[in-house]
Amino acid sequence: MSQTQTQTLWWASESFWKKMAVWITAGSAVVLIFLTFDTVKQITAGGKRVPAYSVINNRIDYVFDEKRNHQVPVIGPEEPLFGKKLTEEEAMALVSKGKLTTQAKNCMNCHTLLGNGSYYAPDLTKSWLDPTWGTKQLREQQMVDFLMNPQDYLYNSLGRRMPNLGITEEEARATVAFLKWMSSIDTNGFPRNFKPIDQTDPAPDAAPAAPADAAAAPVQQ
């Protein structure tokens, strides 16, 4: 590189790359903004991917879809949360209260939500559908009881427990509503191979529901 060149090649010049840096950055930003408009539209609650909050009035299932090659949330027959059907406004207020609770109690620094957060406790994306709750009849109350006194329940052989975060009954119910609503979000099949709780209706003459699988039910200390 000892010979002196007085003219820099245009594609190696400072001014060319300065323009390239500006144009590439601006171009990427413009594409991102356009995509953002579409994405925000698609993930606004009430759409196909992210259902309206009143979806908590219905059964939510997670069923394999051949065409998309993964499980998708399926909104089923009416099954109001805590037996009370809510309007869209009431549902939104309840879910919002639950979301605020998850933020104020710092859930995300132990759990993951939609796979993001911390890894000290289970993912909550489909926790509403988790077989741990035993049966669908027991589920709602079990979740509320657990959230209010989690230190009394041991779900594992590790001795890892959730601390008591002073969650009130109102907050616990709202959190369950939030979790139920979150389980209805179309996450492109995440988590995969999930085995949801049995939500089929028992035959009318069947015996009162009891945990089908003792091992799956929480062990009270």
Partner 1 sequence: MIVEPVHLANFFTVFFSAASVILFGALYALLFAWSRVRGRPRLMAMAYAAYLGLAASVVTLGYAANLFNSGFWTFIVLLMLVGYLFAPHAIWHLCVGTHAEEDEMVKISQPR
Partner 2 sequence: MAALGTLSSANLNGGQKLAVKFFTVAIALFGAQVLFGMLAGIQYLKPDFLFGILDFSVNRMLHINALVVWLLFGFIGAVYWILEDESGTPVVGLGLGNLMFWVFTLAVVVVVLVYLLVQTGPGELKSIWLINEGREYIEAPRWADIGIVVCVLIFFYNVAATFMKGRFTGIGGVLVFDLVALAGLYLAGMWYTPNISMDQHWWWWVIHLWVEATWEVLVGCLLAYGLIKTMGVRRKIVETWLYIEVALLFGSGILGLGHHYFWIGTPEYWLAIGGFFSALEPIPLVAMVVHAVFDAGHHKMKSANHPALAWMIAQAFGNFFGAGVWGFMHTLPQINIYTHGTQWTASHGHLAFFGAYATIVIAFIYLAVQKWRGNVWMSGNMAGAWRWKWAMFLLHAGMIGMTMALLIAGYEQSHIERAIGGSTWMAYFEAQAGPWFQQAMTWRMISGWSFAAGFVLLAWDLMTIGKRETRPAQLPAAEAAAA
Residues that bind partner 1 (CB under 8 A): 1-2, 4-6, 8-9, 11-12, 69-70, 188, 192
Site for partner 2 in 152-171 (CB under 8 A): 155-161, 163-168, 171
Closest contact distance (angstroms) between CB of 204 and partner 2 is: 29
Q: Which is nearer to partner 2, 58 or 147 (CB)?
A: 147
> What long-range pairs does 105-111 form, CB within 8 A, spacing at least 24?
105/165, 105/167, 110/162
C-beta of 14 vs 78, nearer to partner 2: 14
The interface partner of residue 9, options being partner 1, partner 2, none and the CB cut-off 5 to 8 Å by kind, is partner 1
Please give the structure tokens belonging to residue 144: 């509320």
SS3 content of the chain, % helix, strand, coil (to 5): 45, 10, 45
Quick one: which segment of 46-54, 79-87, 136-144, 200-208 binds partner 2 (CB under 8 A)? 46-54
Q: Please list, in sequence order, all residues whose beta carbon lies within 8 angstroms of the beta carbon of residue 164, skipping any fewer than 6 positions away.
A: 149, 150, 151
Q: Which is nearer to partner 2, 80 or 190 (CB)?
A: 190
Of the candidate residues 75, 82, 87, 115, the single one contacting partner 2 (CB under 8 A):
115
Distance CA 16, CA 29 (A): 20
Q: What residues contact 206, with CB distance under 8 A and at least 6 apart?
A: none
Give the tokens for residue 106. Answer: 């710092």
Q: Is 140 among the residues that bind partner 2 (CB under 8 A)?
A: no
Segment 5 to 24, residues that bind partner 2, using CB under 8 A: 12-14, 17-18, 20-21, 24
DSSP secondary structure letter of residue 123:
B
CB-based contact 83:108 (threshold 8 Å): no
d(CA 79, CA 85) in angstroms, rounded, equals 8
The single residue among 82, 137, 195, 212 that binds partner 2, judged by CB under 8 A, is 195
Binding partner selected for residue 39 from partner 2, partner 1, none, CB under the kind-specific 5 to 8 Å limit = partner 2
Stretch that binds partner 2, among 77-85, 127-135, 137-145, 200-208 (CB under 8 A): 127-135
Q: By C-beta, is 5 or 220 nearer to partner 1?
A: 5
The torsion angles phi and psi of 22, rounded to 5 degrees, stand at -65, -45
